């Protein structure tokens, strides 16, 4: 059984599920604009990670996962690229493609690789999910929340669903 929160689809209307999971409208090249995002305690703006796909749902280029800002403080559709100085916190360290997966290492989480897996649904739409471990269990990651302290990151919270039973998973990482 496919649950609506399990995969981000490239076809359909963009929607936010309980303010947590973002699904974007399809583009001509089937790029999925968001497979996971980083929120922060400072404001409503978020860094989203999209994945570039071709019309066969295959990765485009050697670095198909890309970050960008959704400037929600200004409006639901306002976006901006990451600034150079923001790359250290939100950028991608490396990407490795293997078949229908790309292993992504975020600079802020070098010890927690994320696997983005793509597939074609029965209706022909491209789907993508982000997977990692949360509290030592395989999980589908949808959000990393950054709790900021005075001039520093206090902690991170990884949020997702357990691969086995769909239970909501959260892990706090102290900084």
Residue closest to 145 by CA, chosen among 94, 92, 108: 108
The verdict on residue 2 lying in a domain is: no
The helix/strand/coil state of 87 is: helix
Reported as a pLDDT band with limits 50, 70 and 90, residue 11 is very low
The verdict on residue 3 lying in a domain is: no
| Integer Cα distance of 157 and 134 in angstroms | 10
Average pLDDT over residues 23-48: 82
The verdict on residue 105 lying in a domain is: yes
The verdict on residue 47 lying in a domain is: yes
The verdict on residue 161 lying in a domain is: yes
Residues 135-160: pLDDT tens digits? 999 999 999 999 998 888 999 999 99
Average pLDDT of the chain, as a whole number: 86
Tell me the percentage of the chain whose pLDDT exceeds 90. Answer: 78
| Integer Cα distance of 50 and 35 in angstroms | 6
pTM (global) more than 0.85: no
CA distances from 27 to 48, 91, 111, 133 (A): 16, 23, 33, 30
Range of the domain at 70: 8-174
Residues 57-86: pLDDT tens digits? 999 999 999 999 999 999 999 999 999 999
Please count the structural domains in the chain: 1
The verdict on residue 117 lying in a domain is: yes
The verdict on residue 1 lying in a domain is: no
| Integer Cα distance of 145 and 37 in angstroms | 8
Residue 53 pLDDT: 97
Q: Answer whether residue 52 shows pLDDT above 50.
A: yes
The verdict on residue 138 lying in a domain is: yes
């Amino acid at each position: 059984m496919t649950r609506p929160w399990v995969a981000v689809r490239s076809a359909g209307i963009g929607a936010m599920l309980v303010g947590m999971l973002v699904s974007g409208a399809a583009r001509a090249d089937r790029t999925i604009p968001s497979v996971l995002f980083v929120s922060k305690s400072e404001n409503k703006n978020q860094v989203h990670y999209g994945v570039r796909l071709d019309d066969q749902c295959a990765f485009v280029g050697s670095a198909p996962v890309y970050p960008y800002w959704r400037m929600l403080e200004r409006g639901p559709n306002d976006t901006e690229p990451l600034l150079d100085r923001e790359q250290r916190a939100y950028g991608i360290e490396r990407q490795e493609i293997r078949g229908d997966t790309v292993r992504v290492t975020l600079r802020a989480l070098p010890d927690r690789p994320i696997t983005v897996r793509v597939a074609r649904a029965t209706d022909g739409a491209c789907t993508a999910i982000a997977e990692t471990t949360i509290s030592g269990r395989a999980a589908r990651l949808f959000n990393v929340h950054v709790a900021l302290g005075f001039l520093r990151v206090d902690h991170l919270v990884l949020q997702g669903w357990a691969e086995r039973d769909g239970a909501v998973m959260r892990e706090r990482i102290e900084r």
